[in-house]
Structure 1
Amino acid sequence: MEDLREVMRHWVTGVSVVTAELEGRIHGMTVGSFVSISIDPPRIIVTLGNQTRTHKMVTQSGLFGVTFLTAEQQSVADRFAGVIPDEGDRMDGIEILRLAQNIPVIADGLGEMACRVIHQYNMPNSTLFVGEVLEARKEDKSTALIYGNRNYHPLEL
């Protein structure tokens, strides 16, 4: 297992936050497991830990948002990854946009998506959610936040 961890540390990925809303409460978590699987029809995959609040909200609501973070949003990535301890609501001070079906996403990213769960695959510790993209927005930003070898890095696009 340690060999796999070492290999995966060298896999570089974009950083995104998945958000969901249930009973008027919004929550989110940083994920590195985002994949676009089809443009037509528009489909993506995210994987969420089974014990997380975001997982519960996505499972119950059937809807979620995705925000691709910019290099300037590293503190947002840390906050939603739990690196910065929760002192109250993670959403405090975070600007939210509403997309299709009133799905909340974090503002000012590289781009945002509103998704509806169309399939989910349960694994021992996490669930893989296949989402139908209902709306996608590109923002006027040019530096992505990426993660590799246990560190964040900027990537000029």
Structure 2
Amino acid sequence: MLRKVVTMAASRRMLRVVPLICGKHFRYCSSATRPQQTLYNGSVSTESEEPILQRSFKNVMRRVPSPVVVVTTASYQDQILRGMTCGSFTSVSFKPPIVSFCIQHPSHMHELLLQTKHFAINILSKNQAHYATRFAKPADESKDQLQSIPYEEGINGAPILADVAGVLECKLHDVHTVGDHHVWYGEVLKTTELRDEPLLYFARTYRSVGDEVFMTAFEDTTLLFEDWTHAAHLRMAWNYIKEYGREKATPLIKTGIKKYNEQNKDKIVRGYHETLTVFFIHMVADAIKKCDHPDITFEEFIEKQTYLSDKELLNRYYSPHIINSHRAKMMFEPPDKHELP
């Protein structure tokens, strides 16, 4: 059962005195697209002014620390349970207690919330970056995202994740579409006290919340091994290359993989592979260079560059006797089938 209830005001006071936990980079729930016009100081900005305003806005907002939360809801009749990592969560009112969060549109989560009209805001603890990473991934329309994740049902059926720092159980109060996001307002029906220090993010660069917690978990080697997939390797390389450029990112990628492998050496089968690593660094960097949308999210990037997820990609460039050789494992071997792009 959930532990004793505290008031919304008490929960907020506790949140305000918690020190930063996760603080290197700032990230949003999702990347923003550029609107045609933006109100600024009572006037409408032109298209030429827009990038300057957006950069200024990012520079301000990335320095505002915020808790990382997972919003959950469920339609048990349809067997759909879903969660979404979000960093745009805030309190709006105390009388009545109202909170808000934002969802980029279009979104399966938005449609499900309109159907259920109830949700839980799970405030993650400092040791739950893996939850933030998992629920930052796009969900299949009919998939149960909470499969194999411990939870209990809240007062109106919304899933409550196990051992989170705190919980706000809400019903729909209102929802609006503003720019490229849906802004959700929830009336708080029940609160669960903070039982641990919450996971926070703070800024140096401007990334999505999912990328921030993923990269922090990777760098701290706290990323669950089951989440260290091929897609995770691509996400890690994409983040480093986007931030530092290929040349500076390459040693960070190599060192990071070796450090993570050492931490999980009891689970690693093949170990670090120099040719494999350099090959995908090159492919990801090349794809980024060709991308014509600098503010694209990783999920959008992969949707456009589907070949990076193709299991046969490596085989198109290397013969098995080359890529599986000890020499290729220890030092970079150029492809023998096709030249790199």
User: TM-score of the superposition, structure 1-length normalised?
Assistant: 0.84
Aligned to 2:198: 144
Aligned to 1:76: 131
Aligned to 1:8: 61
After superposition, what is the alpha-carbon deviation per residue over 1:69-118, rounded to whole angstroms, capped at 9, x for unaligned?
00110011111112xx8797532321112111222222211111211111
- Decide whether the 8 Å contact of 1:105 with 1:113 is kept in 2: no
Aligned to 1:50: 105
Paired amino acid for 2:106: Q
Helix, strand or coil at the partner of 1:90: coil
Rg: which structure is higher? Answer: 2
User: Does the alignment pair 1:94 with 2:146?
Assistant: no
- Root mean square deviation of aligned Cα: 2.2
Determine the C-alpha separation between the residues in 2 that align with 1:20 and 1:54.
8
Paired amino acid for 2:202: G
User: Does the alignment pair 1:32 with 2:87?
Assistant: yes
Distance change >3 Å, CA 129–CA 112, structure 1 → 2: same
Aligned to 2:293: none
Paired amino acid for 1:110: A
Paired amino acid for 2:96: P
Distance change >3 Å, CA 50–CA 105, structure 1 → 2: farther
Higher helix proportion? 2
- Decide whether the 8 Å contact of 2:73 with 2:157 is kept in 1: no
- Decide whether the 8 Å contact of 1:43 with 1:131 is kept in 2: yes
Determine the C-alpha separation between the residues in 2 that align with 1:123 and 1:38.
19
- Decide whether the 8 Å contact of 1:113 with 1:136 is kept in 2: yes
User: TM-score of the superposition, structure 2-length normalised?
Assistant: 0.41
Give unpaired runs (5+ residues) of structure 2: 1-53, 206-211, 217-341
- Decide whether the 8 Å contact of 2:174 with 2:186 is kept in 1: yes
- Relative contact order (alpha carbons < 8 A, sep ≥ 6): 1 or 2 greater? 1
- Decide whether the 8 Å contact of 1:65 with 1:112 is kept in 2: yes
Determine the C-alpha separation between the residues in 2 that align with 1:107 and 1:39.
26
Count of residue pairs brought into register by the alignment: 150
Paired amino acid for 1:144: P
Give unpaired runs (5+ residues) of structure 1: none
After superposition, what is the alpha-carbon deviation per residue over 1:15-41, rounded to whole angstroms, capped at 9, x for unaligned?
000011122211111111111122332
Determine the C-alpha separation between the residues in 2 that align with 1:107 and 1:122.
32
Helix, strand or coil at the partner of 1:7: helix
Helix, strand or coil at the partner of 1:91: coil
Distance change >3 Å, CA 122–CA 47, structure 1 → 2: same
After TM superposition, the structure 1 stretch with the greater mean CA deviation from structure 2, 87-96 or 56-65, is 87-96
